[in-house]
Amino acid sequence: MSARRTLATAHRIMLQLRHDPRSIALMVLVPCIIMGLIAWMFQDNPMVIDRFGPILVAIFPAFVMFLITSVTTLRERTSGTLERLMSSPVGKADFLFGYALAFAAMAAVQAIVLTAWARWVCGMDVRGSLAAMMGVAVLDAVLGSSLGLAASSFARTEFQAVQMLPLMIVPQLVVCGLVMPRNQMPRVLELFSDVVPFTYAVEAAGDIAGGQPASDALPDVALVLGFTVLAIGLGVLTLRRRTP
């Protein structure tokens, strides 16, 4: 793996994204619109946005970045771009870490905009550090990108990449605390929630929004970071040069 080749790959992806306004709109605007609709629906009950806002701030960036990253990465392989790159000194690690770096930059923009929107437009109450909340949202978006990179390694078509969404993301949404508190779930589901990354993403955001010191969220943040590195490593090991 070479830092120069990784940065060159990231720069190429950023240039491609700059000329794709629809993807940028999906990453940045759509989560804000959905958050705004929820706040509008429950404008007479602000406790709803205070309860679910931090959860949505945690999962929206990961959800959207998973979809964008998995489809875009697979397109590189099916179009033959990846195979041409692999015939050059660029390796699989350079490719995936370059992608991760480029989408991490977009994830930072998306997460910061969404958190600011939720706080100052939708009225979500953040009793802890807003900067720490934004940092958690950025990390969650990077987690979504890394899961998307891993998913794209197993898919053969863009349709299959989209099908990975209900397989890898939706079960996590069900058990992470969005539908009901984890301690009220059946024991088997609670145990399952202990081993999925969205659980710790939601807990970190909820702790900070609830007023706890940012240091209290560090164990959850460390677990999310560990899942992120693991997903990228899995992508490096399973990435194919081309799709048969």
Residue 91: its pLDDT value, please?
67
Read off the tokens for 25: 């709109």
Read off the tokens for 42: 């429950």
Question: Cα separation of 67 and 58, whole Å?
Answer: 15
Residue 85: its pLDDT value, please?
62
Each residue of 211-241: pLDDT tens digit? 899 899 999 999 999 999 998 888 777 766 5
Given a cut of 60, is residue 242 above it in pLDDT?
A: no
Closest among 112, 95, 132, 153 to 212, alpha carbons compared: 132
Each residue of 164-188: pLDDT tens digit? 888 899 999 999 988 888 989 999 9
Residue 1: its pLDDT value, please?
63
DSSP structure string for 15-70:
HHHHT-HHHHHHHHHHHHHHHHHHHHHTTT-HHHHHHHHHHHHHHHHHHHHHHHHH
Rounded alpha-carbon distances, angstroms, from residue 87 to 3, 6, 13, 82, 242: 18, 15, 18, 9, 12
Asked if 202 and 62 count as a contact pair (C-beta separation under 8 A), the reply is: no
DSSP structure string for 72-134:
HHHHHHHTTHHHHHHTTT--HHHHHHHHHHHHHHHHHHHHHHHHHHHHHTS-----S-HHHHH
Mean pLDDT value of segment 196-221: 92
Residue 80: its pLDDT value, please?
67
Structural domain boundaries in the chain: 3-238
**Is the full-model pTM beyond 0.85?**
yes
Mean pLDDT value of segment 192-211: 93
Each residue of 57-89: pLDDT tens digit? 989 888 888 988 888 888 777 776 666 666 666
Residue 106: its pLDDT value, please?
84
